Amino acid sequence: MSDSTDPARRRFLARALLGTGTLLLAGCDRLSRGDALQRLFDASDALSARAQRLLASREALAREYAPEAIAPSFRPNGTTAPDDPTYRRLAADGFRDWRLEVGGLVERPATFSLAELRALPARTQITRHDCVEGWSCIGQWTGVVLGELLDRVGVRDEARFVVFHCADRYRGGDRYYESLDLREAYHPQTLLAYGLNDAELPIANGAPLRLRAERRLGYKMAKYLMRLELVADFAHLGRGRGGYWEDRGYSWWAGI
Amino acid sequence: MRYPTLAFGAARRRRAPPTLVHRHSGITRLWHWVNALCLAVLLMSGLQIFNAHPALYWGQDSTFDAPALSIRAERDADGEWRGITRIGALRLDTTGVLGLSGPREARQRRAFPAWATLPGPRSLARGRDWHFLAGWVFAPGLLAYLTYLVLGGGLRRRLLPRRHEWRRLGHTLIDHLRLRFPRGEAARHYNLPQKLAYLLVLFVIAPLAVLSGLTMSPTLDAAWPWLLDLFGGRQSARSVHFLCALALVGFFVIHVILVLVSGVTNNLRAMITGRYALPPEEDPRDE
């Protein structure tokens, strides 16, 4: 212990520690005010996306559960009753006049009625919905396989993302929208769902049509779909980060 | 103070200078301090994330009516908000810290108080940003360090218990509780409780924390379905993740107490410069 009792050495050590601490704190303070921190978070998110894209192959399936695992009621989240007048009119009529528009970078822009969508190749799957808040809920979804629908309209080569435009405005703010890359859009479990637990999709859960992207967090799975748009990038939409919650600081990848 | 100079004059027998040993490698020291920072960020941002849905469950999904643990604000009979923590059937009033916290005139309904979360104000998005950033430093660092320990021989040389240590375990534990720590040659190596604590944290709790964290990722669950089987579901994994954090806080508290009472300058120097002075053998005057 002889050298640590040397007063000069002690003073030096104390000052060094104090100095480092002050510098670190000042650094953190400056960081959290500027864009540097945001860039660091974006880089970390990009790393997560890259790593997960590497680990989860194109085909890797989300777990599917037995019917006994289905939750007694599927917890709705976000908007549960859109107040958009057009939407309410469509809902009042059982969505008979509702049409899904599919446009943007496609060969044959088209619209689909609910009946037309039901006639397309469908899939039923019992999967777990993971909310970004931390909870999970298991439900059985029935819908058209998004890849099948995309093949019918013909995705152009320059398209990279599918943008989902919705009828709802969360808490009366901006209109909800989301985006998926084509790899996820063509995943066999990615559905445009019109059925939940063997019944028609309830309004609280996104009627008449919602996205199921089972390898992503809940906020990716846009409800109250009105229009799909194929784009090369989404910088011109909303605040440019690819989705309603992404525009408010959440990860676009949304895989963890 | 404990090692006075010649102030007592020639009457006092002068002790031999303590033996300095090389205690921690540069890699260990770097890893230690990076971890200290990472774990602080991971814990506080983790509490921020927990606040977004302040309940834990067991199994694949959330049984919303019957959480294993919940920390919420509830109104009492007078309509006043109270912070209520429930663990199974147990109901605790934790107003002021858990469930309801902040200055009396501006109480906030939040599971963990602002002073414990990163960032302080409610922000799930920012909490997640911090958590994953620190996770990207912590998890690869853990993997690299465990590899270094196993392949570099540090595990066998310094951490794996030896047969004779087991025989003295009871004795060593009692010494620890009496705050009497090994001295002289015996202080050259970690003692058994110390070895067991480090082994538990390094090879069990920290890896479990990382794996249970990864299990909460829907993408990784698709890539590695065995993660869900390992923990018995995503919600179990979330609870295990929380318990691991709790265990690490427990380790931290004991760790800091022991560092403080067993010679704080010496311990700190060992973890900064690598050099550790073996505490001199027992001296009757210390009694």
Residues B161 and B202 in one domain: yes
**Mean per-residue pLDDT over chain B, rounded:** 92
Output the CA–CA distances (angstroms, integers) from residue B73 to B12, B56, B228, in the order listed.
Answer: 64, 16, 32
Q: Is the pLDDT of residue A17 over 90?
A: no
Give the H or E element holding residue B240: helix B234-261
Q: How confident is the model at residue A35 (pLDDT cuts 50, 70, 90)?
A: confident
* Residue B153 C-beta-side C-alpha neighbours within 13 Å: 1
Joined together, the tokens standing for residue A195 give 């059925």
Given a contact cutoff of 8 angstroms between Cβ atoms, the answer to whether B58 and B41 are in contact is no
In a domain, B27, yes or no: yes
Nearest to B217 among A45, A65, A255 (CB): A255
The pLDDT of residue A121 is 96
Q: What value does the mean pLDDT take over residues B249-262?
A: 95
A2 phi, psi to nearest 5 deg = -55, -45
Handedness of CA A6, A12, A15, A19 (dihedral sign): negative
The answer for B 242-281 residues in CB contact with A (under 8 A) is 263, 265-266, 269, 277
Per-residue pLDDT of A226-235, as tens digits, reads 999 999 999 9
Q: Write the CB contacts of B122 (distance below 8 Å, at least 6 apart in sequence).
A: B48, B51, B110
Residues A71 and A149 in one domain: yes
Question: Hey, are the CB atoms on B125 and A131 less than 8 Å from each other?
Answer: no
Nearest to B62 among A135, A216, A248 (CB): A135
In a domain, B262, yes or no: yes
Q: What value does the mean pLDDT take over residues A47-51?
A: 97
Residues B240 and B146 in one domain: yes
Residues B218 and B134 in one domain: yes
Strand pairing of A191-196 and B55-56?
A: unpaired
The pLDDT of residue A22 is 53
Residues B72 and B202 in one domain: no
Q: Is the pLDDT of residue A30 over 80?
A: no
Residues B82 and B180 in one domain: no
Per-residue pLDDT of B138-183, as tens digits, reads 999 999 999 999 999 999 999 999 999 999 888 888 998 888 888 8
Q: How far apart, in whole angstroms, are the C-alpha atoms of residue B229 and residue B60?
A: 10
Residues B123 and B92 in one domain: no
Q: Check which CATH number belongs to the domain holding B27 and give it.
A: 1.20.950.20
* Furthest C-alpha separation in chain A: 88
Q: Is the pLDDT of residue A136 over 70?
A: yes
Q: Check which CATH number belongs to the domain holding A127 and give it.
A: 3.90.420.10
Residue B197, amino acid: A
Q: Is the pLDDT of residue A246 over 50?
A: yes
Q: How far apart, in whole angstroms, are the C-alpha atoms of residue A72 and residue A69?
A: 9
Range of the domain at B186: 20-54+117-286
The pLDDT of residue A24 is 56
In a domain, A253, yes or no: no
Q: How many domains in chain A? A: 2
Question: Hey, are the CB atoms on B265 and A1 less than 8 Å from each other?
Answer: yes
Residues B243 and B163 in one domain: yes
Residues B26 and B130 in one domain: yes
Q: Is the pLDDT of residue A28 over 60?
A: no
Q: How far apart, in whole angstroms, are the C-alpha atoms of residue B7 and residue B126?
A: 57
Say if B110 is an interface residue toward chain A (CB within 8 Å).
Answer: no
Residues A46 and A112 in one domain: no
- Other beta carbons within 10 angstroms of residue A21's beta carbon come to 10
Q: Is the pLDDT of residue B4 over 50?
A: no
Range of the domain at A30: 2-50
Question: Hey, are the CB atoms on B234 and A136 less than 8 Å from each other?
Answer: yes
Nearest to A41 among B53, B133, B265 (CB): B133
Joined together, the tokens standing for residue A98 give 């509702």
Per-residue pLDDT of A175-215, as tens digits, reads 999 999 999 999 999 999 999 999 999 999 999 999 999 99
In a domain, B15, yes or no: no
In a domain, A194, yes or no: yes
The pLDDT of residue A19 is 57
A245 → chain B, closest CA residue: B125
Strand pairing of A99-104 and A225-231?
A: parallel
Per-residue pLDDT of B186-234, as tens digits, reads 898 999 999 999 999 999 999 999 999 999 999 999 999 999 999 999 9
ipTM of this model?
Answer: 0.88
Q: How confident is the model at residue B281 (pLDDT cuts 50, 70, 90)?
A: confident
Q: Mutation target for A interface from B219, B231, B234, B286: give the one with most A CBs within 10 A.
A: B219
Joined together, the tokens standing for residue A45 give 């998110």
- Other beta carbons within 10 angstroms of residue B236's beta carbon come to 20
Handedness of CA A107, A108, A112, A115 (dihedral sign): negative
- Report the candidate in A86, A42, A52, A69 with the shortest Cα–Cα distance to residue A215: A52
Residues B69 and B173 in one domain: no
pLDDT above 90 as % of chain B: 82
User: Last residue of a domain, which of B69, B85, B110?
Assistant: B110
In a domain, A135, yes or no: yes
Residues A42 and A109 in one domain: no
- Other beta carbons within 10 angstroms of residue A154's beta carbon come to 14
Residues B124 and B265 in one domain: yes
